[in-house]
Homo-oligomer: A and B are copies of this chain.
Amino acid sequence: MTASSKPYVVGVDLGGTKILAAVFDRRLRLICKSKRSTKAVRGPAAVIERILRAVWDAVDEADLKMEQVGAVGIGAPGATDPESGKIIFAPNLVWRNVPLRDELEKKLKVPVFVENDCNIQALGVHEKELKGKPRNMAGIFIGTGIGAGLILDGKLYAGFNRTAGEIGHMVLDVNGPKCGCGNKGCFEALASRTAIFKTIKKAVKEGRKTFLTEKLGKSLKDMRSGDLRKAIKRGDKLVAKVVERAAFYAGVAAGNIINLLNPEVIVMGGGVIEALGEQMMPVIVSTARKYAMKGTDKGIRILASALGDDAGITGGAVLAWRGLEAVSPGGQEKPAETPRP
Footprint of B on A, CB under 8 Å?
79, 89, 135-136, 148, 150, 152-153, 155, 157-167, 169-176, 181, 183, 185, 249, 252, 255-256, 259-264, 290-291, 293-300
Contacts and interface: CB of A to CB of B under 8 A. Distances in A.
Contacts of A263: 159-160
Contact of A293 (B169, B255, B290, B295): B169
Q: 4 nearest interchain CB pairs?
A: A159-B262, A166-B259, A164-B262, A160-B264
A291 B170 CA distance: 9
Classify the interface of chain A: helix, strand, loop or mixed: loop
13 contacts: A135-B160, A136-B159, A160-B263, A161-B295, A161-B300, A164-B261, A166-B259, A166-B260, A171-B255, A173-B185, A174-B176, A174-B249, A183-B290
Copies of this chain per assembly: 2
Given A171-B256, A173-B175, A259-B170, A293 B155 contact: no
B295 A79 contact: yes
Most buried by B among A183, A260, A296, A297: A260
A261 B260 CA distance: 10
A296 B128 CA distance: 30
B136 A89 contact: no
Contacts of A183: 290-291
Contacts of A252: 171, 174
Nearest to A154: B153
Nearest to A79: B295
Given A172-B171, A255-B171, A148 B299 contact: no
A169 B259 CA distance: 7
Contacts of A152: 152-153, 157
A173 B256 CA distance: 12
